[in-house]
Homo-oligomer: A and B are copies of this chain.
Amino acid sequence: MPAAVGPATAPFDLDAALRRARIAARRLPALDRAAALKRVADALRRDASAILDANAGDVTRARDAGVSDALVDRLALSPERLAAIADAVVQVADLPDPVGRVLEGWRLPNGLEVRSVTVPFGVIGMVYESRPNVTVDAFALAFRAGSAAVLRGSADALASNRALVASMRGALASAPGVPAEAVDALTLIDDPDRARVTELLRARGRVDLVIPRGGAGLIRHVVETARVPVIETGVGNCHLYLHDDGDRDMALALLLDGKVRRPGVCNALETLLVHRDAADWLPRAAAALRGHGVSLHACDRAREVLAAAGLVEGVHAATEDDWATEYLGPEIAVRVVDGLDDAIEHVHRYGSQHSEAIVTRSRAAGRRFQAEVDAAVVYVNASTRFTDGFEFGFGAEIGISTQKLHARGPLGLRALVTVKHLVDGDGQVRG
């Protein structure tokens, strides 16, 4: 089995790894990448015990270091989780090839024929936190899209990532019809002191794209350090706005779906905005949230209404910071607004351009909210939780883009390619 990483004693040679990744990348467009990925999935199943052993080591070290239960849970693999990870690789293999699609084609008056064709990026870097499944998902998506993946996971998960990568590289090395160089389409960076990640982020011309995946701090660090193209992902300060005419039952269902089911994800709700003429609904909403252990950071008007209904426990005075906070936990900011303009202004000021929702019966209000709110996804009468590659029908996703270049919202396989213009002529000159 080829070494997944360099020896622990010498610093990892990123420059050499990037050169090998580039050579591998050039072999990928012509490969049967779907078949190779199915062998990768088989290898992950076959190597399960080695992978789970390595992961158990990471988990023990994390526990000994006093890492929180929530983080340990993100890190931990089980036979079921590993099987699901392998299944996801097969699903990615079964997605249509995003490479080689002719997006459009036209003929110029001088007879030149132009085609815009999807092509791989080349070398895609991925910087992420402790979930070991990202190691597999990111490789599978990049590889299916014809690009080499250079992965920089967290130190917490290093043993798990090494085992996963060794298994997958082993599968590539032994897959029929796959040239030997293609094994370097998967590289794990060994980076105990964070020097290599900086090098990766500044490798202009050698890395075509870096995607960070993780918390706000990681993403900020990547964006501020990078000199290579980056697609920013993930921070979601998402709002639900109940307009005066909105269906109260529907609003309650969307609120609980957005805040309670999985509060730790980026498409979860963080702020509830309520039209002043719908503020009488607030006690019902607050009681339901409290029933699920959610505490509220409410504006003065909201607290007044809640206090009048006897709801004071777990209801705090909201500060300016609350409007901008992505809690990712059982807390929510609540504000009474004067109307649609006020709600849009609030979202404009504090939103992170991820996912925003309005509950309304008014066609005009829904249209204005969708037109004026600047976000990757703007919902009328639906939960923000649908911002997800699978839910959108894209298949697996590598993250949710919260920037405006290239792709916005769920980044599925088809966002992981670029285009090339092919021009065919008979000697045309511009003159």
Contact = CB atoms under 8 A, between A and B. Distances in A.
Nearest to A420: B378
List the number of copies, as a whole number: 2
Nearest to A111: B382
A112 interface: yes
A247 interface: yes
Interface in A81-114: 106, 108, 112, 114
Interface residues of A, number: 65
Contact of A409 (B229, B391, B421): B421
A223 B201 CA distance: 12
Interface in A145-173: none
A386 B420 contact: no
A206 interface: no
B209 A405 contact: yes
A403 interface: yes
A108 B348 CA distance: 28
29 contacts: A26-B348, A108-B386, A112-B382, A112-B386, A122-B404, A208-B404, A209-B404, A229-B403, A231-B405, A250-B427, A254-B429, A257-B430, A257-B431, A366-B424, A379-B425, A380-B425, A381-B424, A381-B427, A382-B426, A382-B427, A383-B429, A383-B430, A386-B428, A386-B430, A405-B406, A406-B406, A408-B418, A408-B419, A408-B420
The 8 nearest A-B residue pairs measured at CB: A382-B425, A257-B429, A404-B418, A250-B427, A385-B430, A406-B406, A405-B406, A377-B421
Interface of A: 26, 29, 106, 108, 112, 114, 119, 121-122, 204, 208-209, 223-224, 227, 229, 231, 247, 250, 253-254, 256-257, 261, 348, 366, 370-372, 374-383, 385-386, 388, 391-393, 403-406, 408-409, 418-431
